[in-house]
Each structure stands twice: as structure tokens, then as C-alpha cells.
Amino acid sequence: MAEQRSPGTVPTPRRLLERLPSITVLGPFVALLLAVLFFSAQSDRFLSGQNFSLILQQVLVVGVLAIGQTLVILTGGIDLSVGFVMALGTMVMTKFAVELGLPPLLSVLCGVAVTTGFGFLNGLLITRVKLPPFIVTLGTMNIAFALTQIYSKAQTVTGLPDALLFWGNTFRLGETVITYGVVLMIALYLLVWFLLSETAPGRHLYAVGNNPEAARLMGIPTQRVLLLTYTVAGLFYGIAGWLLVSRTSVGDPNAGQTENLETITAVVLGGTSLFGGRGMILGTLLGAIIVGVFRNGLTLTGVSSVYQVLITGVLVILAVTADQLSKRRG
């Protein structure tokens, strides 16, 4: 019987490497804490409830999109169609409501059905035709973009009914004004966290990402898990679209163009491995907030937005490096 290494022995380089997973867990917290401390020192407007509420509103859409992206990345895949599929969904919602005059909630449902359908299509192509997720979603990204432009004739939709703007409504918590959308985002994160960590389908998603062949041999319907994952991701893109419409009060055919990379940034900063099978959904929320804090803080301290992009890039490289190092261990 191989003996166990007893805890508390002298830290060798190997022992330090073994602790890396905890670095990927703690990393996001530390990064967030440092950023908050730094910006609080730089600007006295930074550390206020109202400013944090604003940051949350700014990360709302990317935050909900990143839930779908996290699910996909946990299976070892990637989704490049995220922002463009959402944009198509918002065009369907707004045009159905404004131009076809459908009841607003039915229009929302149609928009969400379109994004969910796109997720299903991604899943179908990946599981049935066995194409790599990267290529499939690159293709559907372009299809969604083109459909958005064709359908909207590149026109912005305005004059939206109130129901479409619902998530922009606010309530007060003490001094701070909070939108319903922020509450929805946090609720969705908690729900997905529960499903991933406490239910059999959630654990199967991790197993499929961690070792697909083992999952298959253990009787997990791996193809069905993948198909369901991409479909559910599409559902979240639709919800994110509704949140976007609520925030901006328009249907914008050019929305969602930077969101792909931003969701991947949030996922990676949150400590989820791009190799699949490892990571936490709540880390993604932290990752999204980190990006938001940097944006907001740098803007408040009057730093040009080019530096914001630079710093985000450096953060992503750091996070991916930690991921790669912890994978190499053992």
C-alpha cells in the first residue's frame, strides 16, 4: 500500500505545485481585493454602494452570458457565438413586440426560443456531426450575425413596451439603488451553482469535461449531456438579451460584438480551466466583476480605455498560465 505524504512536511517545489489548484481558487478573490484597495486609494468616489451597484449593472449582460460560457467550457468546449446569438435574440424580441405588435412577453419568449435554438444547433453539430466546438460556434456566430443584419436591415428598434424594460426597474436598499436585473443575475448564478454542485446532471457535466471516455464507460449519456449543455447555454444568451434590452431601451443590431471575448475572460479569471472539468460557476461571477471593477476604476481615475484593454489582457494571460501550470502538475 503506498503511504500517504503526511501534511506539514517541508514544502518542496512539488508540494508547492500541488497547491496550485487553491491558487486558481483564491486568485480571483485576491485580484478583486487588490483592485478594490487600489482604486479606493486612487479615487474617493470608488468605494460607495452606489458605485458598486453601477459596476454590477455594467457587468450584468456579460455576467449572464458567461454562465452559458462557463457551462460550455466546463465540458471542455468553447462558444464563440455567444454575443452574436444574443444580438439576434434581442432583434427578435424588440421587432416582434414593436413591429408585429405581439404581446411583449410572447416576443421575449420568441427571442429566447431563437437563442436556445441556436444553442441546440451548436450542440447538434458538435454531438452528431462530431465537429469541434471552436469551428461550429465560429460558423454559427457568423450565421447569427448575418441573420441579425438581414432581419433588422441594420436599423435600431426603439419605442419598446415597458415589459421589455422590466429588468431596468429599480428598488432602494438603504442609500443604494439596485436594478431588478442585478438581482436576477445573482439568482441565476446561485441556481446554476446549486444545479452544478448538488445534482447528478451537474456532476455528469463535470465528468464529461474531465474524462469523456470514462464518463461514457460509466454509463453517462455523454452526447446528451453535451447537447443539453449547449442548449441551456443558448437559453442564458436569450435571458442576457432581455437584460441588455432592459438596460439600453433599444434593440441594437450591432450589440454583442465584444461579448465573446469578455465572457471567456470572465470564465478564465474566475478560475475555470479551459481544458474542461474543473472550475466553479461563482468564480465566473467574480471574474466578470473583476473586469467591471477595472473598467470602472480606471475610468474614475481618468485612465484611457486602451489601458483597460491592456490590463484585461494581462489578467487573462496570468489566469491561463495558472491553469496551465496546475494542469501540468502530477
Partner 1 sequence: MEFRPNPQRTPPPNPDLPLDQARQPVTQAKVVLEARGLVKRYGHVTALDGADFELREGEILAVIGDNGAGKSTLIKALSGAIIPDEGQIILDGKPVHFRSPLDARRYGIETVYQDLAVAPAMTIAENLFLGREILKPGLLARLLRVIDKKRMLEEATNSMKDLKIGIRSMSQAVETLSGGQRQGVAVARSAAFARHVVIMDEPTAALGVKEGNMVLELIRRVRDRGLPVIIISHNMPHVFEIADRIHIQRLGRRAAVVNPRRISMAHTVAVMTGAMSPEELSPDELAH
Q: Which positions touch partner 1 (CB under 8 A)?
A: 1-4, 18, 195, 198-201, 203-204, 206-207, 210-211, 213-215, 217-220, 277-278, 330
Q: How far is the CB of 282 from partner 1 (least distance, A)?
A: 17
Residue whose CB is less far from partner 1, 68 or 76: 76
From the CB of 152, what's the least distance to partner 1, in Å?
38
Least separation in angstroms between CB 192 and partner 1: 12
What are the distances in angstroms from CA 108 to CA 149, 166, 290? 19, 11, 30
C-alpha cell at 167: 429588468
Least Å from the CB of residue 315 to partner 1: 24
Which helix (H) or strand (E) segment holds residue 225: the answer is: helix 222-248
Least Å distance, CB 284 to partner 1, is 17
CB 194 to partner 1: min, Å: 9
319's grid cell: 489566469
Considering the complex, state which of residue 70 and residue 148 has its C-beta at the smaller distance from partner 1: 70
Q: Closer to partner 1 at the Cβ: 22 or 158?
A: 22
Please report, for residues 13, 68, 127, 229, 253, the alpha-carbon distance to residue 71 in angstroms, rounded to integers and kept in the order given.
33, 5, 16, 6, 26
Backbone angles phi, psi at 177, to 5 degrees: -95, 125
Nearest alpha-carbon partner for 117 in 231, 228, 238:
231
Spatial distance between the Cα atoms of 314 and 309, rounded to a whole number of angstroms? 9
What whole-number distance in Å separates Cα of residue 294 and Cα of residue 57? 14
CB 174 within 8 A of CB 185: no
Shortest distance in whole angstroms from residue 214 CB to partner 1:
4
Cβ distance to partner 1 smaller for residue 247 or 327: 327
C-alpha cell, 294: 477595472
What is the 3-class SS of 105-125, one letter each residue? HHHHHHHHHHHHHHHHHHHHH
**HSE value, Cβ hemisphere, 13 Å, CA-based, for 20:** 18
Classify 235 as helix, strand or coil.
Answer: helix
Of the pair 28, 209, the CB lying nearest partner 1 is at: 209
Residue nearer to partner 1 on the CB measure, 71 or 215: 215
Q: How far apart are the first and last CA of the chain?
A: 19
Q: Which residue, 31 or 215, has its beta carbon nearer to partner 1? A: 215
Alpha-carbon span 46 to 131, nearest angstrom: 46
Q: How far is the CB of 200 from partner 1 (least distance, A)?
A: 4
Q: What 3-state DSSP class applies to 251? A: strand
Cβ closest to partner 1, residue 166 vs residue 206: 206
Nearer to partner 1, 194 or 307 (CB): 194
Q: Is the dihedral of CA 307, 311, 312, 317 positive or negative?
A: positive
Residue 14 Cβ vs partner 1, minimum distance, rounded to whole Å = 12
